[in-house]
Homo-oligomer: A and B are copies of this chain.
Amino acid sequence: MSIIVKKFGGTSVADPQKILHVARRLIETKQPGEDTVVVVSAMGHSTDHLVALANEVAMDGDQREMDMLLATGEQVTIALLAMALQSLGQPAISLTGPQAGIHTDGLYGRSRVVKVDADRIHNELKQGKIVVVAGFQGLCVDEITTLGRGGSDTSAVVLAAALGAPVCEIYTDVAGVYTCDPRIVPNARKLTEISYEEMLELASLGAQVLHPRSVECAKDHGIVIHVRSTFRSDEGTFVKGVEALETQNPVNGVTLDLNQAKVALLNVPDRPGVAATLFQAIGKAGISVDMIIQSVRGEITNDIAFTVAAGDLEKTKKVAEQIAQDIGGGEVVFDPNIAKVSIVGVGMVGRPAVASSMFEALSSRGINIQMISTSEIKISCVVEKARAKEAAQSIHEFFGLEQSVQPQLV
């Protein structure tokens, strides 16, 4: 018997009718000789509801108790999905993360999976059951811990690895991974496949299809992730090793992150350790910094600009203002009206024309580039938020991403 792991997210199991739909889908697509393990998230907005309850009793509730609370969301879904499968005549059993043998490192709210003891799952599968596992959660000794938001994807991939399943199907409310968000670029194209590396860049850039950790884990264990629609039967996008890719387009996707804000320290003294002091303080405050640009203003001062998540702006300003005071100089300015537009593609390696083409696409529309950051397979530009969608559209068009084989660049 081979095993397939399928994961359904919160929108796919948002109400009893959708849970019944998932149950029917699982029964219809069950292949002879193939065992099914299903990982599910909490129903729709139930996690938000639980968080709201917690905020009413305590601001900043203890993370252990938050895990205790939030783990109930997935437990509700697994019980309901198992019942739905049974009511349709399909033997099934639900298992919490702890029952499924998912052992974590014990960090509340952001556990990593250290081991999967899959005996119970194998035993249940042998009895002909579909095994329904609660995503997002695991056990450390006797404690319930969660993997953090989006952790259900990771649960699914980790189980696929532990069970020797070659493919992990992630069912979602979109049909696959697109060259750009179709709400921004209507003729965006669904990719048939994409490399782990590109998917990682896309995932952390806010494409919101797959949790980055799950992609990393799939890459480490050679699991193919098949991202597909809960509500359609056609194939989606396969996320897999780069050697399997047929086409080598320079760019595979354009992403837009509207949830960014820019902070800058102007005129800071040009002496060693200033940047370190600043970013140590910011890191200590639990704020993640994305792009960092340091530029020379004159002989003795620099400007340091960086971006943070929009929600962290107020906290960041306070830290930055304190640091400016401490280091004796510098003015703090900030701008919440920015966005980050990025292109991703393993094919851009060794093709210098890709970057200049992106800048050309933006300048042809008169869109000003405020910051630039690059990696091996990604180029990001900060632009004015009001023109961000237009920026993504112009880049998508310039590279011809709507075509499956793009015009070759030098």
Contacts and interface: CB of A to CB of B under 8 A. Distances in A.
Given A16-B57, A53-B16, A83 B65 contact: yes
A111 B177 CA distance: 48
A96 B69 CA distance: 11
A79 B71 CA distance: 10
Interface string A68-84: 11011001101111111
A86 B61 contact: yes
A94 interface: yes
Contact of A58 (B54, B64, B83, B144): B83
Interface in A62-111: 62, 64-66, 68-69, 71-72, 75-76, 78-84, 86-87, 93-94, 96, 99
A82 B62 contact: yes
A96 B64 CA distance: 13
A50 B16 CA distance: 11
Nearest to A144: B96
Nearest to A64: B93
B68 A50 contact: no
Contacts of A265: none
A19 interface: yes
A interface residue count range (under 10 / 10 to 19 / 20 to 34 / 35 or more): 35 or more
A163 interface: no
A80 B99 contact: no
Contacts of A66: 79, 83
Contacts of A58: 83-84, 86-87
A87 B99 contact: no
A354 B93 CA distance: 55
A60 to B, nearest CB: 8
A54 B80 contact: yes
B53 A80 contact: yes
A410 B50 CA distance: 61
16 contacts: A16-B53, A17-B56, A19-B57, A53-B80, A54-B80, A58-B84, A58-B86, A61-B83, A62-B83, A65-B79, A65-B93, A68-B75, A68-B78, A68-B82, A69-B83, A72-B75
Given A57-B83, A66-B83, A120-B142, 9 more contacts: A53-B76, A54-B83, A57-B80, A58-B83, A69-B76, A71-B75, A72-B72, A72-B76, A99-B142
